[in-house]
Structure 1
Amino acid sequence: MTRSWTVEDTGRALRRPTAADDKYSRGVLGVRTGSDAYPGAAVLGVEAAWRAGVGMVRYVGPARPTGLVLARRPETVAADGRVQAWLMGSGTDASTRARGETEALRGILHDTDPVIVDAGALDLAADGTAPRILTPHAREHARLRSALGLATAGPDRVVAARETADATGAVVLLKGAVTVVASPDGSAFEVVAGTAWLATAGTGDVLAGVIGALVAGAVAGGRVTDAASLASLAAAAAWLHGHAGRLASAERGGGPITALDVADELPRAVAEALDAV
């Protein structure tokens, strides 16, 4: 069964903080993204996680992206430590990844904290045992399916995403004008992008940060128990990302937007989703 994801669904997947909360109870997200070649991905993902309402971000990465992350978001903790979820892979290249980093990523993927696996870490995701959300675009999805020994995907993106979810045991968020979120149990959601202006560099890094924030917050609140929960959070993040893009474009007369424009509108998107339920 496939259904369209709504603002009300998104609102129900979110949690409004209370006076009893602190930064830890709102979720701590660990982030291993960015590289010397692509440092901006780290900045965008961290920015989006903060804007989506996470309690703390721990960033672990090379010196250049670390400096840029701290310059943009000085509240970020640039040290390893306890987290409720991980985001990895954005702005990295598997072909140039150091052996030590590969082993560190594999360790996270075989631990118990949920992991959002993006871009340059997707090659490691298939044999992970941690709860995972994989976030490929079409070309990355084709490479992943080839590595899994799956046939070339047909025109039905829902069917393809479900097959990949079943083969990996992970939630698959297949990005596109209509984003498909498929769970290993066979359920699937479709999330329509807020605007075609979202097809620009860096917006995928923003989406990954939003997913990470929502998952970390849900784990901290004791609300993530299975793949179905992760699928709902991934779909909610995709809706927030799309709506933030729509808001950003509207603020600019309906014209082009950048990835940071999308991140800037996330607080308003979150507030509107919460107010819808």
Structure 2
Amino acid sequence: MVDIHEWDAGETAALLREPTADDHKYSRGVLGVRTGSHEYPGAAVLGVEAAWRTGIGMVRYLGPERPADLVLQRRPETVTRPGRVQAWLIGSGTDAATRLPAESARLAEVLAGELPVVVDAGALDLVPGARAPMVVTPHQSEHAQLRDLLGLAEAPPGASLAERAFAARETAQGSGAAVLLKGAETVVAAPDGWTTVVRAGTGWLATAGTGDVLGGILGAIVAARGAQHELDAAALARLAAAAAFVHGHAGRSAGPGPVTALDVAEAVPAVIALLLGGGDPAR
């Protein structure tokens, strides 16, 4: 049986960083983003939007031309030239089946480096053998595909929370990465066996693009923390839980009722301000 810790507001707030008078854009964290594609350009816009709204010094978007144009239309403060970063977000809105060899090579370089990487969607196939500190963010079917690549047994469909937690922990141990397994109850596991569940969400989050928003929130939190601390997979697991908590409560506060992914991103600053002020959005 997996011992499942329940993540809360206080733990989230402890991992968020409020800027001081001594900060500048580099000390607050710079996130490098390689997401989106000509087929799915909106994923880049949503992830970048969410990263900015989470509180970060700079976002460098280094993806394809069409998504880059859309990103700049929405968030003109985004930088589209290579340079210094403290963390990476890759894979959202991309498809491994149509990825060009040159892009695969660039992503492989990121995953062979020392900076922490948030790996989503179309980059999950590159996780086996990667050396960078990583947190992967699969939903159920992507988790099954990742487990197959890692040579792990197929997880049972419709699994209980305990079974999902066990599978996430097994995937973390097999990949060496922190695992954020999306779902109505989000499970986060570290390779050392630490496991938590985040129950902050709402069923209205089951809509297109909200996973891209989660990736942006997590990327920003990782970059902000990475600007001040060295991060391993165990640390990334805690940051992933914090991001899931913020994301879930942003989804709640964007309602009541139906929400879009952009609604969720726009609700993030208020959730973070409440947490930093000692409040609990669950109350």
| TM-score normalised over the length of structure 1 | 0.97
CA distance in 2, matches of 1:102, 1:228: 27
CA distance in 2, matches of 1:24, 1:137: 32
Matched, 1:238 2:244: yes
Superposition RMSD in Å: 0.9
Structure 1 letter corresponding to 2:211: G
Question: 2:46 maps to which residue?
Answer: 44
CA distance in 2, matches of 1:65, 1:225: 29
Question: 1:176 maps to which residue?
Answer: 183
Structure 2 letter corresponding to 1:203: T
* Alpha-carbon displacement from aligned partner over 1:88-113 (angstroms, at most 9, x marks no partner): 00000000000000000000000000
CA distance in 1, matches of 2:102, 2:234: 33
Matched, 1:158 2:171: no
CA distance in 2, matches of 1:221, 1:112: 15
**Ranges in structure 2 where 5+ consecutive residues have no aligned partner:** none
Contact 2:121 2:142 in 1 (8 A): yes
Contact 2:120 2:137 in 1 (8 A): yes
Q: Secondary structure at the match of 2:128?
A: helix
Contact 2:42 2:67 in 1 (8 A): yes
Structure 2 letter corresponding to 1:189: T
Contact 2:185 2:201 in 1 (8 A): no
CA distance in 2, matches of 1:106, 1:227: 18
Question: 2:93 maps to which residue?
Answer: 91
Aligned pair count reads 272
Per-residue deviation, 1:143: 0.7
Per-residue deviation, 1:227: 2.0
Per-residue deviation, 1:225: 3.4
CA distance in 2, matches of 1:47, 1:9: 24
Question: 1:82 maps to which residue?
Answer: 84
| TM-score normalised over the length of structure 2 | 0.95
Structure 2 letter corresponding to 1:133: V
CA distance in 2, matches of 1:153, 1:207: 24
Per-residue deviation, 1:32: 0.1
Per-residue deviation, 1:194: 2.5
CA distance in 2, matches of 1:263, 1:235: 17
Q: How does 1:55-66 map to 2 (within 5 A)?
A: 55-66=57-68
The equivalent position to 1:263 in structure 2, one of 256, 259, 265, is 265
Per-residue deviation, 1:275: 1.6
Question: 1:197 maps to which residue?
Answer: 204
Q: Secondary structure at the match of 2:76?
A: coil
Structure 1 residue ranges, 4+ long, deviating more than 3 angstroms after superposition:
none
Contact 2:189 2:195 in 1 (8 A): yes
